[in-house]
Structure 1
Amino acid sequence: MMVDHGMISPDWKPLVILLEDVLGRLFDDLAPQEPVGATITVGHRAAGEGYGLVRLANVGAVGELVDAQIEQLGGPVLDAVASDLPVTTDDVWADSRWPALTRQAMKERTPHLYDTWSRIRGVAALAAGWDGAGVLVLSCCVTGPADETVLSSLRRYEALAAATLAVVYASTTDGSPQVLAMLRSRGVIEQAKGAIMDAVRCDADAAWRRLSIASQHLNVKLRDLAMVLVEYLGNAPAEQPTGLPSNKPDTARGVDAAKLWQILTEPGSTESRCSS
């Protein structure tokens, strides 16, 4: 079942079951870090402030913590969406970024889960895009600090979660042609991200942020921007998945690929350079 702005209802059970399977695998990977729970939260930038975020799937007993962040208290999930960057904390209850998010506040909100809140210390949240302006946040809670090991586990499952959401949504709303376009898009976006990572020696999150900012400020679909870059750098048509019809950018006409590449790979603010 769909809701406005391309978001997904948590009552849409087939997708929720698939995403909970992804979270179950993440949970198993995090076993050495003693996970308390993991969640997938989705929304859409067209929904305005707050992005209309809704918790879609979870494992463990931490869903209420995400709901509290969205509805009232703030926290890592909201910050990950707002910044397009990973957010981690060694102790979510003592972090000055979210003064309202405390164990006491959660106890007052959900007293029956206080034992759960007592176990949690670290939280990590990683935002990703899906279907253009859609947003997805993969987050987890652990009993110790949320360190780079925890974040690495999230990164391994981010693409799988985003692809699951995008493909199932596309197949339901637009049928097989949109699914094929989605499969093409993810491949070329990964190629463009890889090129930026190699050029500026940054990680995947920073490369995604550069592409995303450029897409928003140039009003060009991210997948089309990525294809322009890949074809410019390779001096040849972008590689297409075997068996799929070719995909041509439909919003990137007039983009100066050489200038765009220079902007994306120079130090400084991608946002300010795209605006100039």
Structure 2
Amino acid sequence: MSNGDVVSDARLRLGPELLSALLDYVRGEIGGCLGVSLCTAAANPRLLASAGVASELDRLQRKLDSGPTVHAAREHEAVSSADLAADDRWPDLAAAVTARPDRPRPLAATAVAGSWDDEGPVVFTLYLDHEPTAKDLRTVEEVEPMLAMSAALVEYCSDEVLRADQLVQMLEHRRIIEQAKGMIMAVRRCDAETAFRSLVVASQHFNVKLRDLAVATVELVGNAPAEEAPAELLGDKAKIEPAGQQARHAANRMWTALREA
């Protein structure tokens, strides 16, 4: 076996094992957890990892095009259900869940849209045997960034071994997106979820990449190039390319609308 084969095998083991370990951690941290999953939110969503009942329930939602996971992917926001069998927002899903003789009562769920991807979020869905509590939701908020970043790593590694400069660039773009979210939270006095959705909507409306819009927003509001990570930590690979004209135009329009809202 060549060195390349060894690296490839290690990478393939690392991806599923990393996500599975993180999902198992979440199940251990949240009492009454029946299942957890991570899936992409693209036009043709893919299940990245799952545990417990999540795989079956995510598949059912995709088939019916209905439910909290589908809603979070489409609307780029978090959504919860106290009982999927009695939730009139998704009647087809409620009927299908009710027909399951072995279903827990209640079968609750909460789905959260993460923020690492240019085209949209990775969706983290949690299934519970009780209505989500404030403590459950706090745990989700704490682990979601780690899950989203881990999913990004696995996705980047799916076709080729991740190079150091690719990893640095990925981390930097996520950091700039978080910086732009913070600026929007300040001007709109909103939560992180609403701020991220504002970025996504503007990105889609003006047809610019989310990361480019974030860079342009940070440059516009900060009146300077987007902040770069300390060179002594990341070297010259940490540099973020300046925003292009289209992204700057989109950031100007978005920021004006936010300030006037």
TM-score, with structure 1 as normaliser: 0.78
Residues 1:40 and 2:38 are matched in the alignment: yes
Aligned structure 1 segments of 4 or more residues deviating by more than 6 angstroms: none
Counterparts in 2 of 1:9-88, with a 5 A limit? 14-31=14-31, 34-44=32-42, 51-72=43-64, 74-88=66-80
Q: Find 1:139's aligned residue among 103, 114, 125.
A: 125
- 1:224 Cα deviation from its structure 2 partner: 1.5
Conserved 8 A contact 2:82-2:106: no
State the AA in 2 paired with 1:19.
Answer: L
Q: Find 1:247's aligned residue among 240, 245, 254.
A: 240
- 1:172 Cα deviation from its structure 2 partner: 4.8
Counterpart of 1:168 in structure 2 is 154
Relative distance call for 1:73 and 1:245 in structure 2 (3 A) is closer
- 1:238 Cα deviation from its structure 2 partner: 1.9
Conserved 8 A contact 2:41-2:74: no
Conserved 8 A contact 2:215-2:243: no
Q: Find 1:234's aligned residue among 219, 222, 240.
A: 222
Counterpart of 1:216 in structure 2 is 204
Conserved 8 A contact 2:80-2:132: yes
Relative distance call for 1:206 and 1:252 in structure 2 (3 A) is farther
State the distance in 2 between where 1:135 and 1:93 align: 26
State the distance in 2 between where 1:170 and 1:251 align: 24
CA RMSD of aligned residues (A): 2.4
Relative distance call for 1:250 and 1:230 in structure 2 (3 A) is closer
Conserved 8 A contact 2:22-2:147: yes
Conserved 8 A contact 2:208-2:247: no
- 1:145 Cα deviation from its structure 2 partner: 1.1
Relative distance call for 1:192 and 1:73 in structure 2 (3 A) is closer
State the AA in 1 paired with 2:257.
Answer: I
Q: Deviations over 1:112-139 (max 9, x none)?
A: xx43x22443210011243311531101
SS state of the match for residue 100, structure 1?
helix
Relative distance call for 1:182 and 1:203 in structure 2 (3 A) is same
State the distance in 1 between where 2:80 and 2:177 align: 25
SS state of the match for residue 191, structure 1?
helix
Among the aligned pairs, what percent are the same residue?
33
Gaps spanning 5+ residues in structure 2: where?
A: 1-11
State the distance in 1 between where 2:244 and 2:219 align: 15
State the distance in 2 between where 1:201 and 1:209 align: 14
State the distance in 1 between where 2:108 and 2:98 align: 18
Counterpart of 1:261 in structure 2 is 255
- 1:72 Cα deviation from its structure 2 partner: 2.6
Relative distance call for 1:63 and 1:17 in structure 2 (3 A) is same
State the distance in 1 between where 2:75 and 2:175 align: 24
Q: Deviations over 1:69-111 (max 9, x none)?
A: 1113621110111111111011111000111223x63476xx6
SS state of the match for residue 130, structure 2?
coil
Residues 1:156 and 2:142 are matched in the alignment: yes
Counterpart of 1:205 in structure 2 is 193
Conserved 8 A contact 1:128-1:158: yes
State the distance in 2 between where 1:258 and 1:251 align: 12
Conserved 8 A contact 1:88-1:147: no
State the distance in 1 between where 2:112 and 2:58 align: 13
SS state of the match for residue 90, structure 2?
coil
State the AA in 2 paired with 1:40.
Answer: L
State the distance in 1 between where 2:125 and 2:239 align: 35
Counterpart of 1:105 in structure 2 is 96
State the AA in 2 paired with 1:241.
Answer: A
TM-score, with structure 2 as normaliser: 0.82
